[in-house]
Amino acid sequence: MIGMASSVLSFRQLCSGCARRIRVPTAAPAPVWRRPLALGARRDSSPISTVTLAYDLHQPAKPVADKQTSPLIVMHGLFGSKKNNRTISKVLARDLGRHVYALDLRNHGESPHDERHDYPAMAADVANFIRQHGLKEPTLIGHSMGAKTAMTLALQEPDLVANLIAVDNAPVDARISSDFARYIQGMKKIDEADVTRLAEADKILEPYEKDLTIRQFLLGNLHRPTPASKAQKFRVPLHILAKALDHMGDFPFKDPNEARFAKPSLFIRGTQSKYVPDELIPLIGQFFPLFELVDVEAGHWVISEKPEAFRQAVLRFLEPKE
């Protein structure tokens, strides 16, 4: 048991009974599960041109000597950026004595824009980042879109990764909620309005999203393109993400017999979220046979809602095993 806010179950325990009711999240749209593509099918099998990812490096005050090149790599979700993970990255660097790289995935934050936005491409970017920086045995931590990116990379190149922490997402095809398309509509309206103040942008976005917390999260992508600019624009390429939305719920691997990550994995889900329902637990175990599951009393935004429960779950998972 981890604190009062979470519980830990092994794959064997989970598959013996999955009767717990999961509540609908209040802070994020729920996915709609759909039938997977044919085994081995891919949305885009064209060659991948990788981009060089922007990142923040959080160094521990007292690094563990043998962990200099085995860092944590933290990946955000859709419309997020490395700045969303700044606090938890600093905390984990401190507690674990390991370097923590918080990434901006392609088409997010300060990373380059590219017309292709899918999980094989994002995983290839991260693999390239690992090789460019000479990192050995990294731990991948991803939330939502970042979780599927981490899972894709782990299955695609298991020798490149030591272990995996996936936060509130599962290795399955799902249809993204229409809420995300609505967000993009509102964000485009803001871009067209040439707003100069955040309050103006929030007023435009309010009809598209009533929840202030979600609006603030989305508006965190606004910036002034140049020092002389008065108007604020969205840093993320809205036209690219709009085209990618239909496939953002996809998962590129369909057959656990063809791809399996036989190293330790931790799946953390919010008990008030529907992104990882009980019926998907056996599938997680087929792709990730050495996985553990931790339930945290939170919605989809597990890390920001319950940072201490998340921290404890990560520390327990990564602590040396006897």
| pLDDT confidence of residue 262 | 97
318 CB neighbour count, 10 Å cutoff: 20
- Tell me the three state secondary structure of residue 75: strand
pLDDT tens-digit map of 58-92: 999 888 765 556 899 999 999 999 999 999 999 99
pLDDT tens-digit map of 39-52: 333 445 578 999 99
| pLDDT confidence of residue 43 | 47
For the chain, what are the domain ranges? Answer: 6-175+255-318, 178-244
The more confident residue out of 213 and 19 is: 213
| pLDDT confidence of residue 176 | 79
| pLDDT confidence of residue 244 | 95
Concerning whether 178 is annotated as a catalytic residue, the answer is: no
Looking only at the bridges linking them, the beta strands covering 163-167 and 139-143 are parallel
Which one of 58, 76, 99, 300 is the catalytic residue?
300
Looking only at the bridges linking them, the beta strands covering 163-167 and 265-270 are parallel
| Per-residue pLDDT at 30 exceeds 60 | no
83 CB neighbour count, 10 Å cutoff: 15
Q: How far apart are CA 128 and CA 69, in angstroms?
A: 15
| pLDDT confidence of residue 287 | 98
| pLDDT confidence of residue 62 | 82
| Per-residue pLDDT at 19 exceeds 70 | no
User: Across residues 15-44, what is the average pLDDT?
Assistant: 40
| pLDDT confidence of residue 178 | 81
| pLDDT confidence of residue 320 | 76
Q: How far apart are CA 304 and CA 85, in angstroms?
A: 9
DSSP state letter for 302: H
Concerning whether 58 is annotated as a catalytic residue, the answer is: no
| pLDDT confidence of residue 175 | 81
DSSP state letter for 231: S
pLDDT tens-digit map of 101-113: 999 999 999 999 9
User: Across residues 274-289, what is the average pLDDT?
Assistant: 96
Q: How far apart are CA 207 and CA 188, in angstroms?
A: 13
* CATH number corresponding to 6-175+255-318: 3.40.50.1820
- Report the predicted TM-score, pTM, of the whole model to 2 decimal places: 0.86
Collect all residues with Cβ–Cβ distance below 8 Å to 65 and sequence separation of at least 6. none
Which one of 144, 265, 273, 304 is the catalytic residue?
144
pLDDT tens-digit map of 131-141: 999 999 999 99
pLDDT tens-digit map of 207-236: 999 999 999 999 999 999 998 999 999 999
What residues are paired with 250 via a beta bridge?
none
* 59-68, 214-223, 260-269, 292-301: the lowest-pLDDT one: 59-68
